[in-house]
Amino acid sequence: MTGPVLLGTGARAGGRLLTSEEIDGRIGRKSGWLESQCGVRSRPVLSEAETQESLALQAAQTALDDADLHPDDIDLILFASAVGRQPIPATAALIKDALGLRKTAIPAFDINATCLSGVAALDVASLYVSAGRAKRVLVVTSEVATRALPWDTDPATAGLFGDGAAAFIVGEGASGIAVNQVILETWSEGYEFCTLGAGGTRYDFHSARDEFEENAFFRMDGHALFKLTRNKLPKFIDRLLDASGWSRGDIDVVIPHQASPLALEHMIRKCGFDREKVVSTVRDTGNLVAASIPMTLDTARRDGRIGAGDKILLIGTSAGVSLGGATLIA
């Protein structure tokens, strides 16, 4: 096998399962209301003893074990998430330190393409390996989406999200899941469709605290996002498959971003996939943002849904608005 391959994968969901019925009680709704609105039955959330970086470290260690590697075998660490631990410094440096690599010189930096951060990092890692710049790249994504949800103004959107982490290792190898093609596109007319405005330079905490606090919650224009992706996604998939030399009928397993049950159902109908080939976990995990695609891939592997020689499609959308996908061969 030539070219970059996935040598190992790992995942770690938040340690407590929060059901929609439990949330119904908290927000003063009848039992069953939230699930009827967002389609999610339960989602993992952080336990009191957990942090974003502790989930990331466990996912990373699981991926290393899966690949039979030690942290010292890694040449580059990419932290690929929508929201890191803090704006400065890069969360990747913290992951490197937690892995016991403080005294090594390997680079560690963050990549942010929101929900597609894992796919973007897969692309960067593959380029590093193909160019001979690195032999093994560790990609870690960890999200604590439950910290900034609009429960007061938009509970149906807030109910979609959970907390979790996933990791994978891209490297040289005679065996593994081969990376065939990765493509990302951005359609910036959708920039305001999904936003978390506070935390950067847009709103000054010191001089405009009210605006800062008002924009410290996630906002999504679901209708506008749906309309844009409905128009763009099918042709994007055509371009990805053409670049891969595949047709839809060649695909054995589809690993989509677990955006919402409604989004997955629409993708299946609009894009012409066989339903039994699509891995869906969102009703029980919620939307885990950038951890969604790599965690679903790990789940599919461990559940035996991926066999030798299978052709795998990773596909998703993200804020910005971006479309992204990859084709892999097991």
Average pLDDT value for residue range 138-146: 97
Percent with pLDDT over 90 in the chain = 95
CA distances 77 to 59, 166, 282, Å, are 13, 13, 28
Q: Write down the pLDDT at residue 300.
A: 98
Q: 40: cis peptide before it, omega within 30°?
A: no
Q: Write down the pLDDT at residue 54.
A: 98
Identify the three-state secondary structure at position 193.
coil
Q: Write down the pLDDT at residue 138.
A: 98
Q: Which two tokens stand for residue 204?
A: 């000054």
Side chain identity, residue 325: G
For residue 110, how far is the Cα from the chain centroid? Answer: 14
The 10s digit of each residue's pLDDT in 21-70 is 999 999 999 999 999 999 999 999 999 999 999 999 999 999 999 999 99
For residues 114 and 318, the answer to whether their CB atoms sit within 8 Å is yes
> What are the residues whose beta carbons fall under 8 Å from the beta carbon of 120, sequence distance 6 or more?
80, 111, 113, 184, 324
The 10s digit of each residue's pLDDT in 185-243 is 999 999 999 999 999 999 999 999 999 999 999 999 988 998 999 899 999 999 999 99
Active site residues: 115, 257, 287
Task: State how far the Cα of 233 lies from the Cα of 324, in Å rounded to an integer.
Answer: 9
> What are the residues whose beta carbons fall under 8 Å from the beta carbon of 36, sequence distance 6 or more?
none
Q: Supply the DSSP string of 93-142, one letter for each residue.
A: HHHHHHTT-TTS---EEEE--GGGHHHHHHHHHHHHHHTTS-SEEEEEEE
Over its C-alpha atoms, the chain yields an Rg (Å, rounded) of 19
Q: Report the half-sphere exposure of 176 (CA within 13 A, side-chain side).
A: 24
Identify the three-state secondary structure at position 81.
coil
Task: State how far the Cα of 299 lies from the Cα of 9, in Å rounded to an integer.
Answer: 9
Task: State how far the Cα of 139 lies from the Cα of 193, in Å rounded to an integer.
Answer: 27
Which is it for strands 5-13 and 42-45: parallel, antiparallel or unpaired? unpaired
The 10s digit of each residue's pLDDT in 92-121 is 999 999 999 999 999 999 999 999 999 999
Task: Taking each helix axis as running N to C, give the angle between helix 91-98 and helix 52-66, from 0 to 180 degrees, rounded to the nearest 10.
Answer: 60
Q: Write down the pLDDT at residue 270.
A: 87
Q: Write down the pLDDT at residue 175.
A: 87
The 10s digit of each residue's pLDDT in 262-309 is 999 999 988 889 999 999 999 999 999 999 999 999 999 999 999 999
For residues 200 and 87, the answer to whether their CB atoms sit within 8 Å is yes
Average pLDDT value for residue range 86-94: 96
